[in-house]
Amino acid sequence: MSEENIATIVKILESVPDAQQEKIIQHLREYIADIEDELKWDKSFQKTQNKLVEVARLAKQQIPQGKRQTMDYEQL
């Protein structure tokens, strides 16, 4: 983050009462945690994307051949 952006955030925080600052900081922490979580999911999905495409292609081939199996959601 650039120094200019950090300075802007500091100015915004300084312009509100202390009690509001705490709320803003808490929201920022939660927001950043959500972003980090999404980045982890994106990275995890990227690692498995090729395998998912491969499995989908196999399923498409097996359906016309009658080799498909109905998914049992209770076993997931």
SS (H, E, C) 8-62: HHHHHHHCCCHHHHHHHHHHHHHHHHHHHHHHHHHHHHHHHHHHHHHHHHHHHHH
Instruction: Please tell me the predicted confidence (pLDDT) of residue 75.
Output: 63
Instruction: Please tell me the predicted confidence (pLDDT) of residue 16.
Output: 96
CA atoms within 13 A on the CB side of 68: 15
List, run by run, the mean pLDDT of 10-residue segments along the chain (76 residues): 92 94 95 96 85 84 74 67
